[in-house]
A and B are shown apart, each in its own frame.
Chain A
Amino acid sequence: MSKFEKKRGKTSPAISTASLPDIIFMLLFFFMTVTVMRNSSLKVDVNIPEATELTKLEKKSLVNFVFIGKPMVQYQAVRGTSPQLQLGDKFSNINDIPVFLEKHRAKVPEKQRSMIISSLKIDSKVTMGIVSDVKDQLRKSEQLKVNYSAKARAGDKFK
């Protein structure tokens, strides 16, 4: 016991903070590598359906997003309530798809262009009419790899 008492009597040395920047940098690099800049704000309501046979999208730079859904409340006065297409961050027409895909393609190195995937984020309440039109347009512009975005269904085995 006496030993401890002796120590308590002394003033404790300050903890060295010299390694703090290193630790913070480590965290910083971690977040820098996992960060994906969100560059499109949603203008349509998208509540994706659930499914079980899911595949993960690995490389974000090789993915372009197509949103289909009802315009959000603040846009309904102008756009109405029927399902609309959103490419990038603006409302679009089906005929804008080839240009949109071409713009994305130009950013991707030539070798990886065949690996580009279009992720279709479609609201579950949308009817297939507009979806088929988009699909046809994708096929016309030779974008054949498509990923129907979906959530994992709760209670099912994880896949």
Chain B
Amino acid sequence: MARKSSKDRVSNEVNAGSMADIAFLLLIFFLVTTTMDQDKGLLVKLPPWDDNPVKQEVKIKKRNVFSVLVNANDELLVRGTPVDINILRLKTKEFLMNPKGAEDMAESPTKAIISLKNDRGTHYSKYLAVYNELKAAYNELRNEESQKRYGKPLDKLPRAKQKIILAQIPLILSEAESTNYGEEDK
């Protein structure tokens, strides 16, 4: 130790004055290259690709299918009737929960299937808006359910409880292959 200190006394201390300048330089570089914008979006899980789709005879009751069709003019057809996008969320929720036990609506949320079909000429913005409404309907239902059961919104619940709710109201969305009507800008 003693030797060391004597060495120190001999050699001058490194001048740290320019350290700030160097750090500033780096700082400015990273400031310029930083992008603070966060990427957000609708998270979707696509179905796996099937090379030779075997026509499976899956028996689905008609009452459990909620078909949504978006045509090339960006018009909406829900279960055969034209519908405005503003009430799509409400309609979806009503169909899923079926509060009145109607004959032509889903037996239970687990059996319900949303079938979304679009045209090749449908605009992406419309498609996403419809997708957003459908997802919103599910999210609202899930939140209502968790509020009723646990008195908390879904994202405040622990993982295990979230899974229970998700299993109870699963999002089953089947996307049919898009049809070829309608103009596509080529």
Contacts and interface: CB of A to CB of B under 8 A. Distances in A.
Interface of A: 17-18, 20-21, 24-25, 27-28, 31-32, 34-38, 48-49, 51-57, 60, 63, 82-83, 117, 119-120, 122-132, 135-136, 138-140, 142-152, 159
A54 B40 contact: yes
A144 B124 contact: no
Given A21-B20, A37-B33, A51-B132, A144 B177 contact: no
A100 to B, nearest CB: 17
A119 B41 contact: yes
A36 B38 CA distance: 11
A58 to B, nearest CB: 9
Interface of B: 16, 19-20, 23-24, 26-27, 30-31, 33-36, 38-49, 118-125, 127-129, 131-132, 135-136, 139, 177-178, 182-186
Contacts of B47: 139, 144
A122 B177 contact: no
A152 B45 CA distance: 20
Given A55-B41, A148-B128, A150-B40, 5 more contacts: A52-B132, A120-B41, A125-B123, A147-B41, A152-B40
A139 B46 CA distance: 7
26 contacts: A18-B16, A24-B24, A27-B27, A28-B26, A37-B33, A38-B33, A49-B128, A51-B128, A52-B132, A54-B41, A54-B42, A55-B42, A56-B38, A122-B124, A127-B120, A128-B119, A129-B184, A130-B184, A140-B49, A142-B48, A144-B47, A145-B44, A147-B39, A148-B42, A149-B40, A150-B41
B100 to A, nearest CB: 27
**Nearest 6 CB-CB pairings of A with B:** A124-B125, A129-B120, A31-B30, A139-B49, A24-B23, A149-B41
Contact of A145 (B43, B123, B129): B43
Contacts of B19: 21
Given A24-B20, A123-B124, A51 B39 contact: no
B38 A57 contact: yes
